[in-house]
Amino acid sequence: MNIPKLKNTDKNNFFLMAGSCAIESRDLAFEIAEKIKGITDQFGIPYIFKGSYRKANRTKLDSFTGIGDIRALEILQEVGNHFDLPTVTDIHESIEAEMAAKYVDVLQIPAFLCRQTDLLAAAAKTGKAVNIKKGQFMAGVSMKFAVEKVLHEHPGATVFLTDRGNSFGYGDLVVDYRNIPEMQAHGVPVVMDCTHSLQRPNQGSGVTGGQPQLIETIAKAAIAVGAEGLFIETHPNPSVAKSDGANMLQLDKLEGLLEKLVKIRQAIV
């Protein structure tokens, strides 16, 4: 992986993409980044700060969508500079790629959009690393073609694939761990998204549900089968978060979780 400012890359550990779902404020972003940087340095975990500058596919129209694109991107950049951390954000249309690339180090392709050729190409052209989330309707084997779409525009690009579960009936997702080795066969690091994979979609209310008590189960299994990275959304107080509050990890539980996961990692390498 060729990602600027990434630390602890010599520790043979898994890496972590983590932060709040959306960038809600500069203060919150700094609080989260500082806390996680401290924990990950302690455990020797390479860390990428995550924050969405806009939520483009909320179920309902009146859901929170962001504090303003440029403002949120500036906060991401400030966090990266202040803590000397790489940052990641997600983009939704081709036109956003170049703009977002000025502020962050990794561009993320949302799961619903993982087959949109133009979007993958636009992300690739920026020269940034690209994290593609596997669609809830996709098999791991089929993600090979998404990786190829990026590498075609940017040979040698750093690409990773993130699993966030598959549709299991209407109101549930299931994580199929067979997809980890199957996606690793495409020659890229594989990440487990431990929070979105616990979402409960298609709730009649228009507010997606979650099961945060199972984050540890999802994460332990991922590390044990060899996932190179974890993606975890976290918030000091999920119940007041402006999006995805139902499935984020409470920030003060992160240290205890990572401690357990590092032990499993050491048992398999």
Interface positions with a second copy (CB under 8 A)? 56-61, 65, 92-95, 112-113, 115-119, 135-139, 141-142, 144-145, 148-149, 152, 166-172, 174-178, 180-181, 201-202, 204, 206, 211, 214, 217-218, 220-226, 260, 263-264, 266-268
What's 151's DSSP letter?
H
d(CA 191, CA 220): 13
Q: Are 104 and 87 in contact (CB under 8 A)?
A: yes
Minimum CB distance to a second copy, residue 111 (Å): 9
For a second copy, which is the closer residue by CB, 135 or 245? 135
d(CA 59, CA 31): 28
Minimum CB distance to a second copy, residue 4 (Å): 28
For a second copy, which is the closer residue by CB, 67 or 214? 214
Q: 242, 209, 195, 199: which is closest to 66 by C-alpha?
A: 242
* Single-letter amino acid code for the residue at 183: M
For a second copy, which is the closer residue by CB, 27 or 170? 170
State which H helix or E strand residue 64 sits in. Answer: none
192 φ/ψ angles, rounded to the nearest 5 degrees = -105, 125
Minimum CB distance to a second copy, residue 167 (Å): 4
Minimum CB distance to a second copy, residue 59 (Å): 5
Instruction: Please tell me the total number of residues recorded for the chain in this structure.
Output: 269
For a second copy, which is the closer residue by CB, 29 or 223? 223
For a second copy, which is the closer residue by CB, 240 or 267? 267
Minimum CB distance to a second copy, residue 163 (Å): 12
How far separated are the first and last CA of the chain, in Å rounded? 18
For a second copy, which is the closer residue by CB, 66 or 236? 66
Q: Are 139 and 100 in contact (CB under 8 A)?
A: no
Residue 5, burial from CB neighbour count under 10 angstroms (0-12, 13-18, 19+) = middle
* Single-letter amino acid code for the residue at 143: M
Contacts with 209 (C-beta within 8 Å, 6 or more apart), sequence order: 199, 200, 203, 246, 247
For a second copy, which is the closer residue by CB, 171 or 236? 171
Minimum CB distance to a second copy, residue 33 (Å): 28
Minimum CB distance to a second copy, residue 23 (Å): 18
